[in-house]
Amino acid sequence: MDNKLYCCTNCYRRCGWDDLSAQEHRCLKCRLPAKSCAICDKRFEPRSEQAVYCKRCDFNLLRHAPVLPPDMTGQCNSHKYRE
């Protein structure tokens, strides 16, 4: 049996492992009700009220987000003509 105390990831209150939620490790007071992911439709424990994607989809979204090219303005005008 595990008698160690663990900190809630939200309020840092110490509680037993069984009292923390499975995904976000939050205590009974801080945990949010499970939602369905807007992408894969899996049940997940949201980190915030606004979260609509599960962790996995959120991660994939970040990783596959289009990389914007560096701003090129300013480089084209670097040649100045002398009169």
Binding residues (CB under 5 A) for Zn ion: these are 8, 10-11, 13, 27, 30, 37, 39-40, 54, 57
In the bound state with Zn ion, the residue whose beta carbon lies nearer, of 37 and 72, is 37
Q: Which is nearer to Zn ion, 12 or 73 (CB)?
A: 12
Minimal distance in Å, beta carbon 55 to Zn ion? 8
Question: In degrees rounded to 5, what are phi and psi of residue 80?
Answer: -110, 135
**Smallest gap, in angstroms, from Cβ of residue 49 to Zn ion?**
15
Task: Let me know: does 31 contact 21? Beta carbons within 8 Å.
Answer: yes
H or E segment to which residue 57 belongs? helix 55-63
